[in-house]
Structure 1
């Protein structure tokens, strides 16, 4: 029997949003290392024999995503069934497919506002029961659909959470700095369908004024208005559908206005999300408020001019509303699908191996660590205490984010942490149960520092206005001007700087001489502190704590359990080396990694496992066993030794877990002195220090680590030097500040 993680049933011929959503979810499932089988439903939505959407065929490959083969009996842990109308044509699968659970993803209400039915809930449910052999749960994509299901669904099961569509943009949202022209520029883009426009000429011209006081831009043509308008107003610029990308079109639009036919209900508007992402202020009918909240502005067509004029006059804050929209769009990124999918798959056993399938070489575990260290049966809802904004810089690794995640876990029983990070790995905070917001750094936005700092200031102010934090904790090499400007406007907010030591010699920051900007500075401990030659050694005022890690030693899994969870052999004669050289975003690690794994492969009884951090942009090597999980430290004891970069996280975590290590420092970092850490490790006798430029030296060090006596020696020394986790001590300092102790 073939084993799959997911099967997806839909009509893959459809153009537009349905298959955009299918394709984006398939891409995420592939990245998670999951296998997906596709089931075509030849629905009444497309009467012509047309091929599958190009967005779907682009995701097909030999192993991860392919059509389900009816000749092969198959078991899947989860069935995703998208579009109720398509499911009317679901083929009978009972003779060759068994699934553990099934979700009907309802992308539109069952009944139109006029009372015309779109689909019959009971009939679709019965079709799934008959043809798949399981009673499905309905998962609405928005509050609008949920309301329709509740009204017309009788006794069907409805999921507790909406299955919101993923809006995965490769770029980061461009910050707005003001209006594009003196004349307000109104825009809209949609398919050329009558349902996408108001029914009357009066409402059309109210929403899109036909006067030179407004510049109206239309992407999608106006053929749907034939017979409704007598002609296209002279102040309208009309582009045919598909003649511009939405991103190109929206870049010049100040206000994106969307009103549609009264017999149409929009469950989820991909065009709306594109407009929010662009930074245009979005104006919608009132019923959208349940879906988009304060990300958009709501009114009737007759009020559009008044709303726009209020923003133009300054009565309403345009940039603040723009940021609200972009922030909302970012919360619909890939992490949404990762979290819900892994949550559902946890409810079903992993698929058994299959001789017909190639071995899975990538182990991707999105670990749901607890919000606090202490086990608890309490609800995962946050306590009613004060909120704290945890702000981290991007960095070249995960150090800033990981330190604050460890701190947040210690504080979670007393405060509500909210992460506000420039790290592209920030979704790990969501897996720990914390709210988070991603804010791209200037290098990601490719903007000047002055422009970015103004943008960052506006984002921080919006976050403070939304969350009302009692204090902020910042972890970064130096505080940004945009952050400090925002905090100047909120002197009531207490602030803490978690400032790592071990700066490279010669690196300076003006903030080192002005510690009064913060209520206190916490310096996370460094094992290699006697080798610290950086600027922080010359300034005082910081409160020092032991090395900070996200997990304490007692949270690391025992060896057998760790290997079992990773799918590694527990046989006593099988040995594993962890190769973790960093993200590879600022330095090339491929050749060094290949060299190390080749050396290990030549040693009988040894295998290597290569890590891929959450922020890594490089692709995994097809022939290496790759592990992508967070926090990696949980599985420390699964391995016999590590070959590792000497960043703060890895250095502290491998010492905590007494893991013998060959240290290969990353010398391309801007401020972090990894070379000094690795040199101290060799001096202290807890590991080996080698350069990635010397292949022979690397091979010798790796070879020595395969000797049991060498590893035993290093493990004993590590046990002597390891210190307790500094995160609880840092949490005590923060709470004393909060309580004015």
Structure 2
């Protein structure tokens, strides 16, 4: 799935500091607890050559198991079966990354005969960003960023509603698919994915307006946390907003203009909202993550061997 890509530079730095040497495609891995991230990485595989021996195996479900229309996002049963067939463990867990992600895992599990337990905690994204002060003079500068891909964007009609010509500025980072379409509106300031840094891009806007294709739903929404930390008011759809609660403004696209104009007319409300939103990100801190995972791993392991 990630063939040809280098190791994550931040992860590589940490492993170097800890003296950890990565081992690629080992024949076997043995540990008390083994964590496998995003089982969908096996969706193009027909076999798995590594064997796992552990008391507890946790598969972190970064990708939603179901799309908003109810279809599977990938062949979940195949991916989980490849793992379980190569594993000797007492317990098999699926760990969602958010409330919405958990809902897709639970709905999928009700129609599946794959016998994995769903963890009672979320393996959420750590959002330890430097917090920036919100502007005291918000203007109608709106934008968004994401990975490239048409599925990250709603239809053209909705995009024009969210990023109208009347706005002072409309910018998008990760807009490769829009750039490829020469018919995109000229008032859109478009950048390819990673063409500029996220921090420098976010300096151009006061409102982060984030909506996706109707058949794609973010499992967590890390870009939203980045925008909050950068001191921006975030406006998004109600499902994406579930992860962040009152830290974001949940709204249908047709109400976005009114929301932005209301904050522009009340700069203090803008600042208050951003500061409250930044405080709410504390529940995704590294300290909270460590506490959550430690509590989960310290629970006694049931003596239950399932070869599935």
TM-score by length of 1: 0.37
User: Highest Rg: 1 or 2?
Assistant: 1
What do the CA deviations read for 1:390-412 (whole angstroms, capped 9, x no partner)? Answer: xxxxxxxxxxxxxxxxxxxxxxx
Deviation for aligned residue 1:115: 4.2
In 2, the alpha carbon distance for the partners of 1:264 and 1:253 equals: 25
Conserved in 2, the CA contact under 8 Å of 1:189 and 1:218? yes
In 1, the alpha carbon distance for the partners of 2:26 and 2:237 equals: 50
2:119 aligned partner: 159
Conserved in 2, the CA contact under 8 Å of 1:122 and 1:153? no
Aligned length: 294
In 2, the alpha carbon distance for the partners of 1:175 and 1:295 equals: 15
305 and 64 in structure 1: CA distance in 2 versus 1, 3 angstrom threshold: same
In 1, the alpha carbon distance for the partners of 2:28 and 2:72 equals: 36
73 and 64 in structure 1: CA distance in 2 versus 1, 3 angstrom threshold: farther
2:73 to 82, 106, 118: 118
The answer to whether 1:274 aligns with 2:226 is yes
2:132 aligned partner: 174
1:91 aligned partner: 48
In 2, the alpha carbon distance for the partners of 1:197 and 1:63 equals: 40
The answer to whether 1:203 aligns with 2:161 is no
What do the CA deviations read for 1:109-155 (whole angstroms, capped 9, x no partner)? Answer: 21222444223443333222211222411111011111111111135
Query: Where do 5+ consecutive residues of structure 1 fail to align?
Result: 1-44, 350-741
The answer to whether 1:322 aligns with 2:279 is no
2:82 aligned partner: 127
In 1, the alpha carbon distance for the partners of 2:26 and 2:179 equals: 50
130 and 119 in structure 1: CA distance in 2 versus 1, 3 angstrom threshold: same
1:218 to 160, 164, 172: 172
Deviation for aligned residue 1:305: 0.4
TM-score by length of 2: 0.84
Deviation for aligned residue 1:209: 1.1
What do the CA deviations read for 1:627-686 (whole angstroms, capped 9, x no partner)? Answer: xxxxxxxxxxxxxxxxxxxxxxxxxxxxxxxxxxxxxxxxxxxxxxxxxxxxxxxxxxxx
Deviation for aligned residue 1:225: 6.0
RMSD: 2.8
2:298 to 342, 346, 371: 346
Tell me which of the two structures has the higher relative contact order, counting C-alpha pairs closer than 8 angstroms and 6 or more residues apart: 2
* Superposition map of 1:517-528 within 5 A: none
Q: Secondary structure at the match of 2:211?
A: coil
In 2, the alpha carbon distance for the partners of 1:72 and 1:84 equals: 18
2:243 aligned partner: 291
What do the CA deviations read for 1:428-472 (whole angstroms, capped 9, x no partner)? Answer: xxxxxxxxxxxxxxxxxxxxxxxxxxxxxxxxxxxxxxxxxxxxx
Q: Secondary structure at the match of 1:305?
A: helix
* Superposition map of 1:456-467 within 5 A: none
What do the CA deviations read for 1:188-234 (whole angstroms, capped 9, x no partner)? Answer: 112221111112x21001011122x432122233533655x823333
* Superposition map of 1:314-713 within 5 A: 314=266, 317-347=269-299
2:196 aligned partner: 244
2:304 aligned partner: none
Deviation for aligned residue 1:72: 8.8
Conserved in 2, the CA contact under 8 Å of 1:283 and 1:298? yes
Deviation for aligned residue 1:166: 0.8
Conserved in 2, the CA contact under 8 Å of 1:141 and 1:163? yes
1:137 aligned partner: 93
127 and 303 in structure 1: CA distance in 2 versus 1, 3 angstrom threshold: same
Conserved in 2, the CA contact under 8 Å of 1:110 and 1:152? yes
In 1, the alpha carbon distance for the partners of 2:71 and 2:263 equals: 38
The answer to whether 1:75 aligns with 2:53 is no
In 2, the alpha carbon distance for the partners of 1:145 and 1:74 equals: 28
Conserved in 1, the CA contact under 8 Å of 2:137 and 2:267? no
340 and 92 in structure 1: CA distance in 2 versus 1, 3 angstrom threshold: farther
Conserved in 2, the CA contact under 8 Å of 1:77 and 1:348? no
